[in-house]
Structure 1
């Protein structure tokens, strides 16, 4: 990610007025250009999405949404995937999500990993995200963080041999062997 237009502090209103065909996030008043995802990134994201979506069709506990703007106070981010519990669906607006999702999933890429691991990690905790998954498609790993009162609790790193679960979606089992299966594209 590269910061652009950093000559001033941007607001959510400024962000909402952008219409130049580029993808941005607004973090700490800085407008950040977000590159288009790589094919491997999108395939991993899609596989996780469909496993959660399939589970939610049978167990309506909320919604899973891909790449949509999330307004967190004066910041706007667009996580790769997010889950919002059914009792909090009022956060889902016509144009964006207005508040912290219950679960945020970021698919790491070389250009975004630093911001995802540092700035967004802090932002998500401060905003009230309950669980944060950082998925590394190149290493075939998922790091899971669970929010506690003032810090993240590290729940572990899971690889392609593991089945990922979460207390937010009781009964969901994401088979990481399926998520990371069949990638020859770098």
Structure 2
């Protein structure tokens, strides 16, 4: 179950740094605190196999760095998230700090779970568009489908392309049939 802790003042990254290390994911979106439980084993399997495919095809070739949760992505002082996966292309490596990513990754991947699916499809979709994340994937492992959102010139995302068998980003192609086979 996801919990929102609302207050009258917006939380910032500095306050976020003092949240407990309790095995749950803590995020702040527009200054509000969101907590999610640890991911399931299916969630972790999907994340690991997508990460491995991106790592082999991008990071090993020097094209990008691939990060998996928990890694802090500071989009602004009041927007700090921990996406399941974040990819930063080499030409944007200045966004990679020792403690976190600062600024928009080139790709964000969220694996939808019962406690986060609604937030991934609404709040985070708007957040990533607002901070100009070029590409956002929402993985639905139950439906065995990935919704691929690409940032448009007007700063928003169009309707997603839906992928069941494979999906591409930069020079990488993720074989989704292999990912689904692991479930």
Question: Could you list the per-position Cα deviations for residues 62-94 of structure 1 after superposition, in whole angstroms to 9, with x for gaps in the alignment?
Answer: 111101110011210000001101011111111
> Contact 2:27–2:33 (CA<8 Å) still a contact in 1?
yes
Q: Which runs of 5+ in 1 are unaligned?
A: none
How far the C-alpha of 1:123 sits from its partner, in A, is 0.7
Partner of 2:141: 137
Partner of 1:176: 176
The root-mean-square deviation of aligned C-alpha atoms, in Å, is 1.4
> Contact 2:59–2:66 (CA<8 Å) still a contact in 1?
no
How far the C-alpha of 1:58 sits from its partner, in A, is 4.6
**Does the C-alpha gap of structure 1 residues 58 and 96 become closer, same or farther in structure 2, counting only changes over 3 Å?**
closer
Question: Could you list the per-position Cα deviations for residues 124-177 of structure 1 after superposition, in whole angstroms to 9, with x for gaps in the alignment?
Answer: 011110000000111111000000123112341111xx22112xx12x221111
Count residues with an aligned counterpart: 177
How far the C-alpha of 1:13 sits from its partner, in A, is 1.2
Partner of 2:128: 124
Partner of 1:83: 87
Aligned match for 2:114, one of 93, 97, 110: 110
Give the alignment's TM-score, normalised by structure 1: 0.90
Where 1:90 maps in the other structure, the secondary structure is: helix
Partner of 1:154: 159
Give the alignment's TM-score, normalised by structure 2: 0.91
Aligned match for 1:165, one of 147, 158, 168: 168
Partner of 1:12: 13
**Does the C-alpha gap of structure 1 residues 96 and 140 become closer, same or farther in structure 2, counting only changes over 3 Å?**
same
Question: Could you list the per-position Cα deviations for residues 33-84 of structure 1 after superposition, in whole angstroms to 9, with x for gaps in the alignment?
Answer: 1210011000000000001111125522111110111001121000000110
Where 1:48 maps in the other structure, the secondary structure is: helix
